[in-house]
């Protein structure tokens, strides 16, 4: 099945510091591409994969689950760890939950996390009815395009497959239980107005991770897909500064790939 225009995965071979970006549920790399470009232009090695079942048509997502999505980012992380001296994991929405699980499972291999409106729970969709409803109804209304900036558009599905939503709900529960295992420095940016993931999700994540180096930033002008919204440049700048603080070679002349 052909990939939707703009939803293609992206990779850039840069310096010795690697960055893995994880996109959200029913979304695609397009929502994070400007962020990836920003980091690639500053000589970071960047990986922005397309999650299985995403970026084509919702019917393809119907036959995937969290194990498929997580396996993809896990593979990409392992590849970056082999090639880079330090690796950071960045995520939007469900991508934030994927990043948190990678941090919990891979420990010191992950040098830090940047989370934007990370998800912790399935809201709406009559979430508690999903185990039964998914056998009766195939889809519900999509959650893409929650953006305040006029003219900005997210490449994502207009429908949410309920089998996939049920799998996402199970994944969020799994990650919630693993949050105390997360010890890495964390930068969490979340929107005051978010029609997909409420601020309560960010608050719960911050209350449960074991990280001691934690920075929380409020995004006052953006909705859920903040990486394509009014606060995008702030996200890009803050994340690069965060990485630079923890990876001294960033921004220095003469840094080389490998490590």
Q: How far apart are CA 156 and CA 208, in angstroms?
A: 30
Please name the helix (run of DSSP H) or strand (run of DSSP E) that holds residue 45, with its range, or none: strand 45-48
Which is the catalytic residue, given 93, 191, 239, 255? 93
Establish whether 194 is a catalytic residue. yes
Which is the catalytic residue, given 224, 229, 231, 255? 224
The verdict on whether residue 25 carries a ligand-binding annotation is yes
The verdict on whether residue 94 carries a ligand-binding annotation is yes
Question: Taking the alpha carbons of 60, 61, 66, 71 in that order, is the dihedral positive or negative?
Answer: positive
Q: How far apart are CA 18 and CA 136, in angstroms?
A: 44
Establish whether 111 is a catalytic residue. no
Q: How far apart are CA 245 and CA 122, in angstroms?
A: 34
Task: Give residues with Cβ within 8 angstroms of 61, minimum separation 6.
Answer: 26, 53, 54, 157, 161, 164
Which is the catalytic residue, given 194, 201, 229, 231? 194
**Cβ-based neighbour number of residue 122 at 10 Å:** 21
Establish whether 224 is a catalytic residue. yes
Which residues are the active-site residues?
A: 93, 194, 224
Q: Which residue ranges are tagged as binding site for substrate?
A: 25, 94
Q: Which residue ranges are tagged as binding site?
A: 25, 94
């Amino acid at each position: 099945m052909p990939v939707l225009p703009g939803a293609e995965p992206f990779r850039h071979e840069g310096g010795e510091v690697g960055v893995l970006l994880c996109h959200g549920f029913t979304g695609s790399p397009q929502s994070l591409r400007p962020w990836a470009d920003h980091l690639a232009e500053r000589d970071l090695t960047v990986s922005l994969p397309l999650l299985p079942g995403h970026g084509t048509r919702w019917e393809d997502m119907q036959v995937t689950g969290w194990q498929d999505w997580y396996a993809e980012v896990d593979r990409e992380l392992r590849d970056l760890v082999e090639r880079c001296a330090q690796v950071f994991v960045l995520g939007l929405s469900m991508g934030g939950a994927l990043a948190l699980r990678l941090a919990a499972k891979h420990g010191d291999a992950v040098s830090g996390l940047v989370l934007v409106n990370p998800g912790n729970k399935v809201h709406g969709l009559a979430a508690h009815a999903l185990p039964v409803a998914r056998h009766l109804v195939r889809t519900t209304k999509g959650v893409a395009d929650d953006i305040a900036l006029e003219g900005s558009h997210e490449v994502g599905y207009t429908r949410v497959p309920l089998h996939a939503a049920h799998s996402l709900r199970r994944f969020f529960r799994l990650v919630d239980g693993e949050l105390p295992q997360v010890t890495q420095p964390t930068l969490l940016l979340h929107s005051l107005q978010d029609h997909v993931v409420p601020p309560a999700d960010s608050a719960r994540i911050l209350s449960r991770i074991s990280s001691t180096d934690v920075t929380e930033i409020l995004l006052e002008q953006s909705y859920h897909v903040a990486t394509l919204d009014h606060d995008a440049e702030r996200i890009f700048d803050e994340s690069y500064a965060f990485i630079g603080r923890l990876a001294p070679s960033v921004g220095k002349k003469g840094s080389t790939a490998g490590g």
